[in-house]
Amino acid sequence: MEVENVNKLIGEKIKNLRNRNGLTQQELADRTELTKGFISQLERGLVSASVVTLFDLIECLGTTPAEFFREQEEQVVFSEQEYFEKVDEEGNSIQWIVPNAQKYQMEPLLVVIQPHARLEEDKPHNGEEFGFLISGRITLHLGEKIYHVKAGESFYYPTTQTHYLENPGSRPARLLWISTPPEF
């Protein structure tokens, strides 16, 4: 592997650990007696650190050299036990079916909307949303327009208008909903 690539990988790991620990570049620089400029250049892969300096940074970031350099395989399959679920006061549920999806480019959700209930209105924001209705029926409110969606149909739209989903039916509606970029 080329030196530039190694520097870039090390810099990205330092930056991710710093952010995970809620530190600014200046705070990390102060803790390691380095300059903010050096930390910035290191995170961008423009410079390399000596072994002693790198080990000091790793320690200040709350990890060990062994953990820092361990190759991590990206998780590909996620089980129900890993899902995070939020249920609102109407009994509607949203399950985040890919843990920590905010680090990816899209966020898949499994959503259940109870009969005659609706999800909270979403204000316009950057991004796009896609849904596939597994069962039931829903009404998609997109700006001033209303779309009726039944089981087996999908929808796709840019999120530049106020939007929300509701279930006008007498059975729960279940859908796969994917948004990009992930909402935090």
In the chain, the percentage of residues whose pLDDT exceeds 70 is: 96
- Does the pLDDT of residue 128 top 60, yes or no? yes
Q: How many percent of the chain have pLDDT more than 90?
A: 71
With bands split at pLDDT 50, 70 and 90, how would you rate the model's confidence at 72? low
The yes-or-no verdict on residue 47 having pLDDT over 80 is: yes
pLDDT at 118 over 70: yes
The 3-state secondary structure of 104-167, one letter per residue: CCCEEEEEEECCCCECCCECCCCCEEEEEEEECEEEEEECCEEEEEECCCEEEEECCCCEEEEC
pLDDT at 2 over 80: no
Domains in the chain, please, with CATH? 3-69 (1.10.260.40), 80-180 (2.60.120.10)
Asked if the model's pLDDT at residue 1 lies above 60, the reply is: no
Burial of 76 (0-12, 13-18, 19+ CB in 10 A): exposed
136's CB contacts (< 8 A; 6+ apart) are 113, 151, 167, 169, 171, 172, 173, 174
Given a cut of 90, is residue 112 above it in pLDDT?
A: yes
